[in-house]
Structure 1
Amino acid sequence: MRLLVTGREGQVVRSLLRLRATQSDIQVHAVGRPELDLAQDRDLVGIFEPLKPDVIVNAAAYTAVDQAESDTDLAFRVNGRGAGLVARAARQLGIPVIQISTDYVFPGDGVRPYLESDPVSPVSAYGASKLAGERETAQENPNHAVLRTAWVYAPEGKNFVRTMLRLAKSREEVGVVADQVGNPTSADDIAAAVAAVAINLKANPHDPALRGIFHMTSQGETTWAGFADTIFRESAARGGPSARVKGIATSDYPTPAKRPANSRLDCSKLRNAHGVVLPSWNDGLARCINAISMTGEW
């Protein structure tokens, strides 16, 4: 299996590249800027074809959620039209495309985990741009799987886990939003799930049940405050930084982009169609903190 993944620095990209060391039957090649810039409207076949991929994974994205409120055009070029260009190139090469998407396509006002069939209505420019990418992908290439995930973290990069550990170095107490709930999801677990979906798509080229939109998050749910508290407990157990968590309301921490209050995703469809179930978020977090502790780079 030869996976071509767009982007180089993203958390999911790095995790997919790490996957090569543990799964010898999977080759992963990452292509990013400057040779691949999804903000530029261009034919991508010439970039992808020499690499002879079996499946293309579009993990490149504009991910600055708050900045997207004022940089909307660029967010839509990368996340919307850029996703369409990747999907079109995959169709021209006769191969599937996997599009990584987000819980932010939902308004967040539901009282249960969202199903793939629930109405979408983003409350931020970032969410709207990712929804545009889903639609562009489906329009350009019927042979696709859109994988919506949420609250992604990894041992490296910019994410909630790294932010909490950094703040704990200089603060005894950290205020964290306690009225938003979701499914923290390890980028390493996402990478393993993406690889499994890719294998299924390649092995079953005409099975419509394996194509379409799927939700893909870790099992279990918590609030951002609960997430932070567990991060600090796991860190303290390994001699790392820790702090008290003070639960605060979303209104106490205003941001340019509105966040969904309910980010929970129901992943039953992914389990039933692809046989893919991600581990619990607690297990994924423990592995992440352990990886950080091994480097000593708290």
Structure 2
Amino acid sequence: MRLVVTGREGQVAASLLEAGRGRAGVEVIAIGRPSLDLAKPDTVIDAIAAAKPDIVVSAAAYTAVDQAEDEPDLAFAVNAVGAGKVAEAARRLGVPVIHLSTDYVFDGSAAGAYVETDATGPRCVYGASKLAGEQAVAAANPRHLILRTAWVYSPFGKNFVKTMLRLAADRDEITVVADQWGNPTSALDIADAILHAAAQLHGNKGSDASGIYHLAGAGETNWSGFARHILDTSRVLGGPWARVRDIATMDYPTKARRPANSRLSSTKFASVFGSNAPDWRQSTEAVVHRVLV
């Protein structure tokens, strides 16, 4: 099974490349700029066709949440038009597309964890562009899995875990927002889940599991609770540690509005594909260990 993933530098792409090396019968190929540039739709079809995929994983995206408020045209070009072109390329080749989306498609006002049928209502340009991307992917290729995830971290690239460890090396105290809740999700776990689902799609070409799924770490916390667990784990391993002081969202203004509730229920994905994400604490500890060691 040959998976072609868009984007070379992203956390999910890097995690898929690593996970693919340990799987018999699996080959993961990452393609990106300049041969594939989602901001230049004319590059997409030929680049994906040349890679000869059995399944396409649409992971590349415009992810600068605050900057998107100043660059809405670019955000929509990449996250909506570009994502649609990736799905179209997969359809032309007769293969499924697995597309990564986000909790930011919701407004964050729900009392509990969001399920796939809940009404969307993004509060920022980034979320709106990703929702438009979901719609473009579904319209372009009937064989699609749209996987909404949240609070992604990994040993790769820039993310909250690595930021907390860097700040703790220089400070005694870090202020972290305590009134936004969600599911920290390891990109390593996302990669495992994608490979699990892809194997089922590839092995049973007649099955129709197409649709939207939520895929997030098990359990929930707020950003400050996430930070404390990262730093407490680091201290046990001999790494940097700092106190975490809770603040409110209003005390840390950002250009883009974030949902107060990003919790996602992954029950549907577990039911259809038989794959459950580990508890977020366990996965966080594994990533902190890798970053430090």
Common topology (TM > 0.5): yes
Query: What one-letter code is carried by the residue in structure 2 that aligns with 1:218?
Result: G
Q: How many pairs are equivalent?
A: 293
| 1:100 aligned counterpart, secondary structure | strand
Query: What one-letter code is carried by the residue in structure 2 that aligns with 1:289?
Result: V
Bigger CA drift: 37-46 or 58-67? 37-46
Give 2:87's aligned residue.
87
Q: Give yes or no for contact 1:231–1:285 (8 Å, CA) kept in 2.
A: yes
Deviation at 1:221, TM superposition (A): 0.4
Partners of 2:202 and 2:45 lie apart in 1 by 19
Give 2:274's aligned residue.
275
| 1:246 aligned counterpart, secondary structure | strand
Give 1:217's aligned residue.
216
Report Cα offsets for 1:134-172 as digits up to 9, x if no partner.
000000000000000000001121111111111111110
Give 2:16's aligned residue.
16
Deviation at 1:44, TM superposition (A): 3.0
Partners of 1:65 and 1:203 lie apart in 2 by 37
Bigger CA drift: 276-285 or 42-51? 42-51
TM score, norm. by length of structure 1: 0.97
Does 2:292 align with 1:293? yes
Query: What one-letter code is carried by the residue in structure 2 that aligns with 1:81?
Result: V
Give 1:125's aligned residue.
125
Deviation at 1:276, TM superposition (A): 1.5
Query: What one-letter code is carried by the residue in structure 1 that aligns with 2:178?
Result: A
Give 1:226's aligned residue.
225
| 1:121 aligned counterpart, secondary structure | coil
TM score, norm. by length of structure 2: 0.98
| 2:41 aligned counterpart, secondary structure | coil
Query: What one-letter code is carried by the residue in structure 2 that aligns with 1:169?
Result: A
Partners of 1:286 and 1:162 lie apart in 2 by 12
Deviation at 1:46, TM superposition (A): 2.2
Identity of aligned residues (%): 54
Query: What one-letter code is carried by the residue in structure 2 that aligns with 1:227?
Result: F
Deviation at 1:43, TM superposition (A): 5.7
Give 2:7's aligned residue.
7
Give 1:29's aligned residue.
29
Q: Give yes or no for contact 1:58–1:83 (8 Å, CA) kept in 2.
A: yes
| 1:99 aligned counterpart, secondary structure | strand
Tell me, which stretches of 5 or more residues in structure 1 are unaligned? none
Give 1:59's aligned residue.
59
| 1:44 aligned counterpart, secondary structure | helix
Q: Give yes or no for contact 1:80–1:129 (8 Å, CA) kept in 2.
A: yes
Partners of 1:2 and 1:41 lie apart in 2 by 23
Report Cα offsets for 1:174-230 as digits up to 9, x if no partner.
10000010000001000000111111112222323x110000001000000000000
Partners of 1:62 and 1:50 lie apart in 2 by 23
Give 1:258's aligned residue.
257
Query: What one-letter code is carried by the residue in structure 2 that aligns with 1:264?
Result: R
- Supply the RMSD in Å over aligned alpha carbons: 0.9
1:23-172 map, 5 Å: 23-42=23-42, 44-172=44-172
Give 1:241's aligned residue.
240
Query: What one-letter code is carried by the residue in structure 2 that aligns with 1:266?
Result: S
